[in-house]
Amino acid sequence: MKPLSLMTMALALGCVWTLSAQNPLSGETKNFYTQIKTNLVKSAEKMPEANYSFQPTDSVRTFGQIIGHVADAEILFCSAAKGEKKDSNAEKTLKSKAELVAALKDSFSYCDGVYNSLTDASGVEKVKFFGRDMTRLGVLNFNIAHSNEHYGNIVTYLRIKGLVPPSSESSK
């Protein structure tokens, strides 16, 4: 590597460290978000199309409905954090793997903007969530907790179908 490239990388890493040090809480929230986003997108891609209609028992969502529900909820939480009105209805309207993976990725693209612009200062600002005041950081952390709950559902579905969940894959 050229010395200039090393210097550029060192400067970039320094900037990231400085931003993280200035925004420890929102920085951790972004890390949690990136982790669950990665696991959910990989899970959606890993499950074969034929298993998108799979449900372990009649009283629970199909795999595809869970993906749609997570996509809808991401939009719900992130639009509240952003102060926008935005609806999503993937769970009730989409069926195919291609449509649902696209909807999930679109929801995360929307949320990326919200999480990436988050700072510790903007995190303590109040936003409206279902008519109540809540901190922006609180709404975005609740979103992560909700996504984790459904990732727990998804892991069980994947395992029942003989697939290794992304979070249990060996790191390469």
Question: ∠117-119-120 over CA atoms, to 5°?
Answer: 160
Buried b (16+ CB within 10 A) or exposed e, 87-99: ebebbeebeebeb
**Sole binder of other proteins in the list 46, 82, 105, 146 (CB under 8 A):** 146
At residue 85, the 3 state secondary structure works out as coil
For other proteins, which is the closer residue by CB, 95 or 159?
159
At its nearest, how many Å lie between other proteins and the CB of residue 70? 11
The radius of gyration of the chain's CA atoms, rounded to the nearest angstrom, is 18
- Chain centroid to Cα 31, Å, comes to 11
- Can you tell me the distance from the alpha carbon of 160 to that of 98, in angstroms, rounded to the nearest whole number? 22
Contact 140, 77 (CB under 8 A): yes
Q: Which x/- pattern over 96-135 shows residues binding other proteins (rule: CB under 8 A)? A: ---------------------------xx-x--xxxxxxx
Binding to other proteins, residues 52-91 (CB under 8 A): 56-57, 59-60, 69, 72-73, 76, 87, 89
Q: Which x/- pattern over 7-46 shows residues binding other proteins (rule: CB under 8 A)? A: -----------------xx--xx--x---x----------
**Sole binder of other proteins in the list 11, 45, 145, 169 (CB under 8 A):** 145
Count of C-beta atoms within a 10 Å radius of residue 68: 26
Residues that bind other proteins (CB under 8 A): 24-25, 28-29, 32, 36, 56-57, 59-60, 69, 72-73, 76, 87, 89, 123-124, 126, 129-135, 137-138, 141-142, 144-146, 148-157, 159-160, 162
